[in-house]
Amino acid sequence: MVSRILEQKEPIRLVLSSDRTTSHLVPIWQDLDVLESINSAVSPLSGLTGILSGEQYASVSTVIPMLYLLETDLLKEGAEETVLTRDIKHRIVDDIKGRYSRLNDTVNEILQVATFLDLRFKVKYFEHFQEVELLSIKQKVTDDTLEVCHELQEPSAPKKERNLGTLFKDFEFRIREQEQEHATPVNQEEQHRQIVMNEIDGYLSGHRTDFEEDPLMWWKRQQFNYPVLAKLP
């Protein structure tokens, strides 16, 4: 709305000045300076509400990265900006960070785990939040996964025409089953935890994907490679 007023300032002046009852509303240069400062501060935020409110794609995992983007880029104070513009940006950033800090632990955990499991971000933007440590995130993901998967089962290969590859896969699967039957009994929960940690390490060692990638579709395609983690998204 502010940008439209600035675009149409001359027609607005002309219309208001043509009527004695509205002539006092004609914007003067001080008014326009204030509007310019406001527009300069908030224009970078145009469209963000629509992006974060989308229903056809995952958005909860973008909250933490978006906070980083706002403070370090979109709302970064410029040397050539007016004092008012810099003050508005500073207040917006403080307000957003204040809202984030007031979130309860459960919501914070959801945001952190969701961002961690978004292969576009992983742990890229956690460094901005000093209270968030990688070890803590890995522990939360592990606990959440164990809660979802009470009994971890060996992933079954998708049904398809048998060939040389599937023949050896079936053979090695049976070998592993036999080894597990004769192995020394271990704490099942610890065994599951180690499997989850191995998947997490493998996930983190891979490359982050293009930002246009749909993380939910990616996890659907990778559920055979990450059978445990794929249950979370």
pLDDT in tens, 153-211: 544 545 556 566 677 777 777 787 777 666 555 566 777 778 888 888 888 888 888 88
Domain contains 231: yes
How confident is the model over 23-57, as pLDDT tens digits?
Answer: 888 888 888 889 999 988 888 887 777 777 777 77
Specify the pTM.
Answer: 0.63
Q: What percent of the chain has pLDDT over 90?
A: 5
Handedness of CA 118, 60, 62, 72 (dihedral sign): negative
Query: What torsion do the CA atoms of 87, 93, 95, 101 make, to the nearest 10 degrees?
Result: -150
Distance CA 9, CA 3 (A): 10
Q: Is 28 inside a domain boundary?
A: yes
Pick the last residue of a domain from 87, 102, 117.
102
130: confidence class by pLDDT, cuts 50, 70, 90: very low
Q: How many domains does the chain have?
A: 2
Within a domain: 48: yes
Asked whether the predicted pLDDT for residue 148 surpasses 70, the reply is: no
Q: Are 193 and 99 in contact (CB under 8 A)?
A: no
Give Cβ neighbours of residue 216 (< 8 Å, ≥ 6 apart).
57, 58, 233
Do residues 145 and 191 share a domain? yes
Range of the domain at 46: 1-102
- Choosing from 46, 81, 102, the residue where a domain stops is 102
> Hunting for tokens 């992006």 — which residue is that?
51
Residue 124 maps to a domain: no
